[in-house]
Every structure is written in structure tokens, then in C-alpha cells.
A = this chain, B = another copy of it.
């Protein structure tokens, strides 16, 4: 690249000064805009970036990025307020605001996997300058919710045109567990025969419905990980619904397990999960349900 005498990089690149904070912005495109241009730094075809922009600059860049459908990242000092299903306020601090073209908005601090405030996809982003601050507002309806981020300082704003590559392949989900059991029903118990998946009932669809070696109906509930009492309740609802549907007399529902064998429920329930908590095990025993320890994917 060519360098002029006394200013080695004065040729292709421009340096603009923000009047309010006297910081440089470098522009690498080739157009010869006026010297004190506020144009942003275009570092490549896909990324736009400005450093310590004035609110006005930041506003322009945001609106352009909205227009382009860019993925946007803003570092800055801001306050955040949310009002909707709940309401929250967050005092001034340095944070990262991420704005997505699908309407999602995320406010991240330096801690936590979860954003401290957010707005789900489908929201609408708007930017404006109000009372000397850059205000970014994201709103949605049903439910009506508003997220407002007010920047006193924008340290860094970047926007990238994102293309493709959204095809995540995930292994080890509950679906893998179902596949595994349908492939090898004996993993549930010898003689188990799956008849139907997602079989409808008044309590909702059950994961796997089948019969055991004796021909007794079996409801199987699948969980990809260690489960608590709620999963037992879910299985119980399916079993109860099926009993009602088939007009089968209910087994005793109390804790007098002495005559469990005599009053064995005409429909069995089996919970398939890697493991269960103590409380869940108790409830399984109360209900007369079985537990099969099984992972979504085979151990190595």
C-alpha cells in the first residue's frame, strides 16, 4: 500500500474526528468523502464498527444496521428498564447489548449465562436520542412488553451481516433415547413390545405405549436425565388417563402397599431415565411404577 511523504497512511484511509469526544474513526473504503466525515470503519464487506461514537453517529449506524439486517453488538455505559409480564430496573453500568435482526435483544453484564435483561425474537428495535442519551427500545405485543436501554456512553458498536450456518446437529436428546428403546425394547425389560409413540390420552401424549411379556399395557415415560418427583406425576397422569379410558378399575392410590400384588394395577407405568432422585424413587414405589436406568446414548 502506498504511503505519502510525511504521512505514510494518508492515501487510502481517512481519519475522522468526532467533535464531541475527539477520537479517531478510520474509514477504509475508497470513496473520497469530506475530510471530517463521520463515516464508520468498514473493516470488511460484512462488518461495520465504530469506536466511541457520538450518540448521533451511533444512531446512524444502528439504523443502517437495522436496515441491513445485521447482528449488532454494542458496548457501553447504560441503564436498563423492562416492563411487561414483570418489571425491572437496572442502574448505570458497562454492559453489552446484542440486537438481532429477528427482533431479539440481549443485555449482558460480565456475569451469568443469562442476559440480565432481554426481549425475545419478534420484537421491534428502535433507536433515538433522548435527553442527551442514546435510547434503544425493543417492544413486542402479546404480551405487551418493552425493553429500554439508555446509553450515556457508547464505547464500541459493531454490526455484522450474518449468513447461513444455522444447522445444529444435537445428539443425546430424549428423541435419541426413544430411538434407542424402539431399536432395543429389551432394554426396558425382556418381552416388552412397543406399540405406539406419542399415543394420545386425555392427559396428553405418552412417550411410548406398549405391552409387557404378559400382554399387560405399559406406559413408558422417557427422560434424558436424572429426574425428580414431577416426572413421576407426569407418568401417573398418563397411567390414570389410560385406566379411565380403558375402563379399568383403579388400583389403590394410597400408601398401603401390603396388598400391592393383589391389587396390582392393570396398567403398568415405567419411568426410563439415567437415574432418579430419592423423592422420585419414593413416589415411584408409592405408585407401583418401575424404573429403568438408561442413558440417551450408550456408555462408551
Contact = CB atoms under 8 A, between A and B. Distances in A.
Interface in A74-117: 75, 85-96, 98, 100-102, 104, 106, 108-113, 116-117
Contacts of A113: 104, 106, 118-121
Given A24-B26, A94-B162, A88 B168 contact: yes
Interface string A119-161: 1110000000000000000000000000000000001101011
A186 interface: no
Contacts of A169: 88-90
Copies in the assembly, this chain: 2
A99 to B, nearest CB: 10
Contacts of A47: 51-52, 75, 155-156
B15 A13 contact: yes
A110 B71 contact: yes
Interface residues of A, number: 92
A6 interface: yes
Contact of A91 (B1, B6, B165, B224): B165
A71 B10 CA distance: 33
Nearest to A115: B113
A22 interface: yes
A250 interface: yes
A211 interface: no
A24 B6 contact: no
Given A75-B158, A155-B160, A95 B23 contact: no
B49 A94 contact: no
A32 interface: no
B52 A43 contact: yes
Interface in A191-244: 203-204, 224-225, 229-230, 233-234, 237, 244
Interface stretch (A54-62, A170-178, A265-273): A170-178
Interface string A265-300: 000000000000001000000000000000010000
Given A6-B6, A41-B51, 14 more contacts: A1-B22, A8-B15, A15-B26, A23-B43, A47-B156, A71-B108, A71-B109, A73-B158, A94-B165, A98-B108, A102-B112, A104-B112, A156-B158, A203-B279
22 contacts: A6-B7, A13-B24, A43-B51, A43-B155, A46-B94, A47-B75, A47-B156, A49-B49, A73-B75, A86-B296, A89-B169, A90-B167, A94-B161, A96-B98, A96-B160, A100-B108, A104-B112, A106-B108, A111-B121, A111-B166, A203-B229, A253-B253
